[in-house]
Amino acid sequence: MNESEFSLDGKIILVTGAGGLIGQEVCDAYAAYGATVIATDNQSSEKLHAQIARLNRRYPEGNFSGISADVTSEESVGKLFHHIQETYHQLDVLVNLAAIDAKFDDGQKAINLSRFEHYPLELWERSVAVNATGLIRVTQHAVRLMLPRRSGHIINVASTYSLVAPNQSLYETDPETAPVFKPIDYVGTKSMVPNFSRYIATFYAREGIRCNTVVPHGIMNQHPKAFQDNFAKLSPLGRMCELKEIRGPFVFLASHASSYMTGSTLVVDGGWTAW
Ligand SMILES: NC(=O)c1ccc[n+]([C@@H]2O[C@H](COP(=O)([O-])OP(=O)(O)OC[C@H]3O[C@@H](n4cnc5c(N)ncnc54)[C@H](O)[C@@H]3O)[C@@H](O)[C@H]2O)c1
């Protein structure tokens, strides 16, 4: 084993949700390790192009492209994969990051303030379309591209709420305002991800395709102080995750260093689910 085991030179990697918090960091990490990165998101083309321009400035030798696509649309995802087929003729790694997630970061309004018994089912259906059906759709297209070469790796992104229920006291940050709750759409749709990965891993294990899950948790994004304090009390490591700390697990999984791993769940949660 040497450091070249972690090299991503020559690998073509598609990242969905690439314009998001983790997506931007993961694209940068893959670029740093030598991959050709295809960044996709349903954000505007301008935002994606600005992201690609930043990658080009930091890694002038690299090869990066940004393509807008909506994972809820068969037509949109079909066009994305047609482009990948025509331009690159192969796909080595797919990272499924695109998702709807009610946020509690500073400056972001929590999507839902209601308790479970009043939770609007339209929000559940919207999240199913992205976090579940969208995940399956993109994975289907990727597998079709990977099968002829009998080679590929799919990295799905779950949550600690795929493994345990949210501790709703984490979100109690202001006694003066109405309570907010982590909603069921996120917990329900993310719960399928580790077992979906096991399904794909075992379905295609003998056809050269691997599939694994990363479980991030509590990535710092200028959260209010009260949220950080709550988090620190509940977390064994006593702090939130720095954005850069997510790079290593994603690079490791995309690289040859993880070659004997499939169907696994790589938990990066500061010990949250350990007690
Ligand atoms: N941030 C965390 O602390 C954390 C913790 C656990 C798990 N995760 C998971 O990591 C992944 C990324 O999280 P993040 O914090 O970067 O979220 P984010 O909201 O910053 O990024 C998600 C991205 O998905 C994109 N997206 C949403 N709907 C889409 C659609 N229909 N088609 C295409 N793209 C779409 C959004 O535009 C956004 O850029 C998610 O799957 C999330 O569940 C994040």
Domain of residue 120, CATH code: 3.40.50.720
Coil, strand or helix: which one is 180? coil
Give the number of other Cβ atoms within 10 Å of residue 1's Cβ.
Answer: 7
- What range defines the domain where residue 71 resides? 3-274
From CA 273, how far away is CA 165, in angstroms rounded?
Answer: 10
Best residue among 28, 38, 97 to mutate for probing ligand 1, ranked by most atoms within 8 Å of CB: 97
Q: Residue 163: CA atoms inside 13 Å, Cβ hemisphere, count?
A: 20
pLDDT at residue number 273 = 98
Q: What is the 3-state secondary structure (H, E, C) of 5-33?
A: HHCCCCCEEEEECCCCHHHHHHHHHHHHC
Gap from CA of 99 to ligand 1 centroid (Å)? 4
Smallest CA-to-CA distance from 100 within 75, 125, 80, 120 is with 125
- The per-residue pLDDT for 195 is 98
- Ligand 1 shell residues, CB under 6 Å: 16-17, 19-23, 41-43, 70-72, 97-101, 130, 134, 157, 159, 190, 216-219
**What is the reported pLDDT for 1?**
60
Q: How far apart are CA 46 and CA 17, in angstroms?
A: 15
Tell me, what's the pLDDT at 104? 66
The closest alpha carbon to 214, from 274, 138, 267, belongs to 267
| CA 18–ligand 1 middle distance (angstroms) | 8
40 strand-pairing partners: 16, 67
Model pLDDT, residue 177: 82
Give dist(CA 247, CA 29) in Å, integer. 6
Q: What's at 65, amino acid-wise?
A: S
Q: At 208, which helix (H) or strand (E)?
A: none
C-alpha to C-alpha distance for 242 and 60, rounded to whole angstroms: 26
pLDDT at residue number 196: 99
Looking at the structure of the chain, the number of domains it has is 1
pLDDT at position 105 is 62
Give the chain's residues under pLDDT 70: 1-3, 104-113
Q: Which atom of ligand 1 is nearest to the CA of 158?
A: 7
Q: Determine the distance separating the centroid of ligand 1 and the alpha carbon of 98, expressed in angstroms.
A: 5
Give the bridge partners for 156, in sequence order: 96, 213
How many whole angstroms from 2 Cα to the centroid of ligand 1? 33
Which residues on adjacent β-strands are paired with residue 63?
A: none
Single-letter amino acid code for the residue at 124: W
